[in-house]
Every structure is written in C-alpha cells, then in structure tokens.
Structure 1
Amino acid sequence: MKAVVLKKAERLRERLSLIAPLATVTPEVFMAERPRRDLCAFYLILAVEECRDLAEHLIAENAWGAPESAGEEFELLAQKGVIDTALARRMRQAVGLRNLLVHEYAEVDWGRVHSAANDLSRLSEFLAAVLRFSGLQP
C-alpha cells in the first residue's frame, strides 16, 4: 500500500509543480494565452485525477465500499477520518472543475481555472492528509 501511495504522491507533487509557474501571470494574460491556459488545465485535470486515484486506493485497500461518484469518494474519506468535511467539500469542487474541463458541459470559465491554479492548497492538503493517514508523514 505504501509504495502505491508514495508513487501517486510523487506524481501529484510533480503535477502541482508544473501548474504553479503557468498561473503566475495576470488573469488577462492567462486568458489570452491559449497554450498556457490549455496546458494549465491539462495539468489540473491530471492532478485532480491523481487525488481521485489516491482516494480510490485508500477506499479499496481498507475495504470501505464502493462510492458511486468521485464526490462520494471524498465524503467517505471524511467519514473515515482521513480528511475533514470542509476539505471533502473543496475536493468535490475540484472534481467539478475537472469535469467541466474534460466534458465541457458549459463554456469554460478561464478565470475560475486561473484561480484554481493559483490556489492549489486543497490538493496539497489532501495529499498531506493521505500521507498522514498512511503513516508516511507526521
């Protein structure tokens, strides 16, 4: 279990490190530079997917059932004490943004993407909580 968590944690950290420099521009520049914003969106999608993979791994490893949606995965982790309910809610929002980017249900709000890329705290907090729960971080 720990080897899987460590590998996924390493990939998530890498994704986060790739997002940060892409978002350091003003919202106007971000929205005007399509290659920058598309690459940033791609890395955000990958980062959220990595968080989902970590959630699914913990749920399966501990035989906590089979949530029906990504949002339920994070709610279950909150119920089991891995993360708090506020972080579960914030992770559901991250999944919502990921879904919007992947499926384009509506026109993408690039300002929202820019804001998410400039505040990666929910993803970092999720990773820290998973590592603590797994005994890999104090």
Structure 2
Amino acid sequence: MADESVVTDKLQHVNEYTSDLKEMRGMSKDEYMSDVVVQRAVERTFMNLIQSCIDLAQHIRASENLEPSGTAKQEIEALGNGDIISRGTQEKVEEAVGFRNVLAHRYGDVDHDVVYRTLHDDLLWFERFQQEVAQWFQQYHN
C-alpha cells in the first residue's frame, strides 16, 4: 500500500513546482528568449516537477505491485495501466519525461521556443496528474 506521507510529500512538490512555473509566465516570448537566468530557472523547475512526478509514480508502482517497471516512462505507464491516471494524462506525462531528459542531459541545444510554449500551454497536465493521483489515493487508501 502506498505510504500516505510519501504520496502527500510528492504531491506537494508537484503542486509547488507547478505554482512556481505559473508565476514565471508573466513575460513576453521576446523577454523570455533574451533572459538566460529566467530560462535556466524555468528549465530547472520543469526538471524538478517532472522528477517529482516520476518519483511519485515509482513509489505507487512499487507499493501497489504494478507493471511495468524500469524506465521513468514505464513508471508513468504503470499508473495508466493501473487506472490511477487517465490515458491522456499518462501520454502527456510520458512526453514530459522525454522533455526532462532533453533539459537534464542537454541532448543538442534546448529549444527555448518549446520550453516557452510548454510553460504556457502544458502545465494543466501536471495539475491533472496531481488531481488524478490524489483522487485515486483518497478513494482507495482512506
């Protein structure tokens, strides 16, 4: 059974990082593209956010004996297979894992247009991930 303190802690991190990213949305694309410090802050916050989702998925997958396990994408897939998150959320968070890998390992140059667009258009998927996991946990562990 998933540990309430671990789930709560990881959900709190997802919430905090998502909120931080929302606060970084205020500038125009031109301002964002010319501010390396803000770019780095956004990228690092995305990496932390996505890693928190992976860590949470890993904990739930292991504690609930779900399959598959292994890669970060498979940890997210296991939550979809276990009906903990929806298929749409699963697919978007799996994409985010690939995005995190690009940011963390700098495969080629980071496309700042993609980061800016993700910042403005895709945070809702992290909110859905958080909501779906929280609903599952409340329903099956209280």
* TM value normalised by structure 2: 0.90
**Unaligned segments of structure 1, at least 5 residues:** none
Cα distance in 2, alignment partners of residues 45 and 103 from structure 1? 11
**Is 1:20 paired with 2:26?**
no
Please list, as runs of the form range in 1=range in 2, the aligned pairs for 1:102-113 lying within 5 A after superposition. Answer: 102-113=104-115
Alignment RMSD, CA only? 1.3
Equivalent residue, structure 1, for 2:74: 72
Contact 1:59 1:65 in 2 (8 A): yes
- TM-superposed CA distance for 1:23, in Å, is 2.3
Distance 2:76 2:131 in 1: 14
Maintained 8 Å contact 1:91/1:122: yes
1:65 is displaced (CA, Å) by 4.1
Residue 8 of structure 2 aligns with an amino acid whose one-letter code is L
Per the alignment, residue 135 of structure 1 pairs with 138
Residue 125, structure 1, aligned to residue 124, structure 2: no
Larger mean CA deviation between 109-118 and 32-41 belongs to: 109-118
Q: How far, CA to CA, are the matches of 1:49 and 1:99 in structure 2?
A: 10
CA contact (8 A) 1:23 1:30 kept: no
Could you say which residue in structure 1 is the equivalent of 2:32?
30
Output aligned runs, 1:25-104, within 5 Å.
25-65=27-67, 67-104=69-106
Residue 10 of structure 1 is matched in structure 2 by 12
Q: CA deviation at 1:32?
A: 0.6
- Kept in 2, the 8 Å contact 1:22–1:37? The answer is no
Q: Which runs of 5+ in 2 are unaligned?
A: none
Further displaced range: 29-38 or 2-11: 2-11
Number of aligned residues: 136
Deviation at 1:47, TM superposition (A): 0.4
TM-score normalised to the size of structure 1?
A: 0.92
